[in-house]
Amino acid sequence: MAPFLFYSEFETYLSAEKRYSPHTVLAYIKDLEQFFDFAGIQHEHELSEISSKLIRGWLVSLIDGDYSNKSANRKLSSLRTYFNFLKRTDKVARNPLTGIVGPKSEKRLPQFANETDLIQTDLGAIQSMEVEELRDLVMIELLYQTGMRLSELIGLKKIDLQNSKLKVLGKRNKERLIPLSNELNQLIHQYLDKREIEGLNSEWLINTNKGDKLYPKFVYRKINIYLGKVTELEKCSPHVLRHTFATHMLNNGAGLEVIKELLGHANLSATQVYTHSSFSQLNNIYSQAHPRGHKNK
């Protein structure tokens, strides 16, 4: 890492003012390191030598290097945020990214599982489950029934379970309350009770096999195994269950504003990506409601 490029101040800006997570801050710094390595920049006085032509050359090299347009745009955003910070704090006289537009991102619709694919929880069978089986089931049902993010699941503590709702800490430390179904609430308490009996109790709502806090690869592996068994999706990640939650909610009549609040989206545009899946539902409603629609059945 180049020592004279205001990294420390920029990290403080991202975490304290922008309220980005440590993971996001690290990603920004890695993007900057990649650019400065490409540009051969090591000292702050060399920042004035950076031109829009150099930045466009970097974008071309990224795309030629098999980075997707989405990844290239994310890296460009990191660089743009960095120079906006430098300009704002009078560390540079100009922003070389002014007027630069990134490559057009491919619009990919979110993948989701069908309602019939997901295994219905058998509340009668959970009595005989081992604590690890219960734990895995709780993770799956929480992701599917609440739509929470992977990071939010990992960060859940026992004190966040409040009667029939969960307090979730989302992006930029924004809290929201998510309702729990009676079945899911019962499942969570069954897991906690069995976990305590086996001496795996801790402040975290969900533990690893050793009683430690969850970590991303652990959850990803469990969800990947589960979705791989019940679906034919190419991507079997925890985020697929978030997409599935939103899609199923929308297809069963929930409004976008409600889904937006449950997902913890900052604006409605992020939620509208799920409207793609509701056409079949709209078609059914049209067929039932319009006086001539039923004739097309």
In SS3 terms, 159-211 reads as HHEECCEEEEECHHHCEEEEECCHHHHHHHHHHHHHHHHCCCCCCECCECCCC
State whether the Cα torsion 87-91-92-96 is positive or negative.
negative
Where in the sequence numbering do the catalytic residues fall? Answer: 149, 171, 239, 242, 265, 274
DSSP bridge pairs for 167: 177
84 neighbors 119 (Cβ within 8 angstroms) = no
Show the DSSP H helices in 211-297 as ranges.
216-230, 238-251, 256-263, 268-271, 279-289
Alpha carbons 205 and 157: distance in angstroms, whole number: 5
DSSP annotation of 16: I
Q: Which of 132, 154, 88, 118 is nearest to 233 (CA)?
A: 118
Q: Which of 87, 2, 59, 64 is nearest to 36 (CA)?
A: 2
